[in-house]
């Protein structure tokens, strides 16, 4: 039995993968969300220090300098499991070092009159289910919008 050449295998894989993506908008939306999440995670990791320094300069120039430890971490959407942005957290150095991400919870009150977003410093980038382990003594001090 002959093995297929790498070019033939790649073409076949591309055809199968492409057919799956064109089967519906859901697949394209899912792929777009995955790629966007991966892009956000990559950008946050690559620019973590300059983003943190930039936020500290911004607040310092405005007369509100940081007096505690800070760092920039990704925001993960709880329940949807994707990266949705970045946030700066601040607090005592030992606790800030424990923060791996900020969990974003969403809800509403009064029907849908008020949309709520809670941002919780947590000790993992991959929380399981809807259970969070909050890092106590740490707060969110800034939000970073990422245009991808």
| Residue 16: pLDDT over 60 | no
> Tens digits of per-residue pLDDT, 72-117?
999 988 877 677 889 999 999 999 999 999 999 989 998 889 999 9
Report the SS3 class of residue 121.
Answer: strand
* Dihedral sign of CA atoms 37, 130, 49, 57 in order: positive
pLDDT at 148: 65
pLDDT at 50: 96
Residue 17, CB-side half-sphere exposure with 13 Å CA sphere: 7
Q: What Cα–Cα distance (Å) separates residue 33 from each residue in 7, 59, 96?
A: 29, 32, 29
Overall pTM surpassing 0.85 (yes/no): no
Q: What Cα–Cα distance (Å) separates residue 105 from each residue in 44, 84, 108, 147?
A: 20, 12, 10, 21
Q: What Cα–Cα distance (Å) separates residue 51 from each residue in 28, 31, 71?
A: 31, 27, 9
Q: What Cα–Cα distance (Å) separates residue 113 from each residue in 60, 73, 104, 105, 116?
A: 36, 30, 19, 17, 10
Mean pLDDT within 12-26: 41
> Tens digits of per-residue pLDDT, 27-78?
455 445 555 556 777 888 899 999 999 999 999 999 999 999 999 999 988 8
| Residue 13: pLDDT over 90 | no
């Amino acid at each position: 039995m002959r093995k297929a050449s790498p070019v033939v295998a790649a073409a076949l894989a591309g055809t199968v993968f492409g057919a799956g993506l064109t089967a519906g908008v859901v697949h394209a939306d899912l792929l777009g969300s995955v790629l966007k999440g991966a892009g956000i995670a990559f950008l946050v990791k690559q620019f973590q220090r300059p983003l943190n320094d930039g936020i500290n300069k911004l607040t310092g120039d405005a007369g509100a300098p940081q007096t505690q430890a800070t760092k920039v971490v990704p925001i993960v959407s709880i329940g949807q499991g994707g990266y949705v942005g970045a946030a700066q957290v601040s607090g005592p150095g030992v606790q800030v070092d424990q923060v791996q991400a900020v969990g974003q919870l969403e809800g509403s009150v009064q029907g849908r009159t008020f949309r709520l977003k809670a941002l919780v410093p947590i000790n993992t980038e991959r929380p399981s289910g809807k259970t969070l382990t909050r890092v106590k003594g740490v707060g969110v001090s800034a939000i970073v919008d990422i245009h991808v």
